[in-house]
Amino acid sequence: MKDDDLYLMDVADVQLDATRQKLNDKEKSRLLAARMNAKHLAYCDDAFSTILMFFLLHELPADAREHTLNETLRVLQPGGRLVITEYGQYPRQHFLCRFWPTRILLLRLEPFLGDFWHRNLFAMLRRHAKTHNKTLKLVDEFHCFSNFYRVCVFEVNSPDGE
């Protein structure tokens, strides 16, 4: 594994192909794309220094989400960073939630979002970090579209800080 290798995984070939089409030749030469279920990652422990998870967690039923977070914490090395782009906490005051037809439509289109909205992402991540003898802290957070979406940056370490 080289420092500038870019590993990409998705369960759908069509998504991997879509990414390849967006890259130039130089970027393509760094890309190692694989079709894989995030519940069972075919990477070794502590393999990555940075992991970006882009709008995946809300797509998953609760048990698959737990497995995915557990696998993510397994393959992220101490000192590494995890960046999660996702829906925010349940946006009670947001107009898309207050206006019931859009809320119902959204939950129809995203059947696992309702459950995700009511979970504590930080608590889940901390719990899975602990099972791999790692600690996790939030180091940066951005919100957009009136807190409807968020980007969270976590740093993972070993308990002794190494």
* Positions in the binding site for ligand SAM (CB under 6 A): 10-12, 15, 37-39, 54-56, 59-60, 64
Which residue number, 15 or 49, has a Cβ lying nearer to ligand SAM? 15
CA distance linking residue 48 with residue 53, whole number of Å = 13
Which residue number, 51 or 78, has a Cβ lying nearer to ligand SAM? 51
Nearest distance in Å: CB 157, ligand SAM: 26
Which residue number, 19 or 157, has a Cβ lying nearer to ligand SAM? 19
CA separation (Å) from 136 to 98, 113, 127?
34, 24, 9
CA distance linking residue 113 with residue 88, whole number of Å = 10
Nearest distance in Å: CB 70, ligand SAM: 13
CA distance linking residue 35 with residue 113, whole number of Å = 24
